[in-house]
Amino acid sequence: MSFAPALHAEWIKVRTLPSLVGGLAAIPVVTTAFSALAAADADGTDPLFSAFFGVSFGQIAAIAFGTTALSAEFRGGALRLSLAAVPDRRRWFAAKATAIALPVLAVGWFTGLITLLVGKAVLGASGPGWAEGLRGAVGCGLHLTLMALFGAGIAAVLRSGVATLSVLIPFLLIVSFVIGDMSSGVADLLPDRAGQVVLHSAWDGALGPWTGLGVTALWAAAALFAGLGSLRRRDA
The pLDDT tens digits of the residues spanning 16-45 come to: 989 999 999 999 999 999 999 988 887 778
Domain boundaries, the chain: 3-233
pLDDT at position 204 = 79
- The pLDDT of residue 207: 87
pLDDT at 154 over 80: yes
215/206 Cα distance (integer angstroms): 12
Q: What is the mean pLDDT of residues 70-88?
A: 89
Supply the pLDDT for residue 181: 59
**Is the pLDDT reported for residue 88 higher than 60?**
yes
User: Whole-model pTM?
Assistant: 0.94
Q: What values do phi and psi take at 170, rounded to 5?
A: -60, -35
Cα-Cα-Cα-Cα torsion 33, 70, 226, 171, nearest 10 degrees, comes to 30
* Whole-number Å distance between alpha carbons of 209 and 151: 22
What's the rounded Cα separation, in Å, for the pair 54 and 50?
A: 8
3-class SS of residue 200: coil
Residue 47: Cβ-neighbour burial (10 angstroms; 0-12, 13-18, 19+): buried
Asked if residue 180 has pLDDT above 80, the reply is no
Average pLDDT of the chain is 91
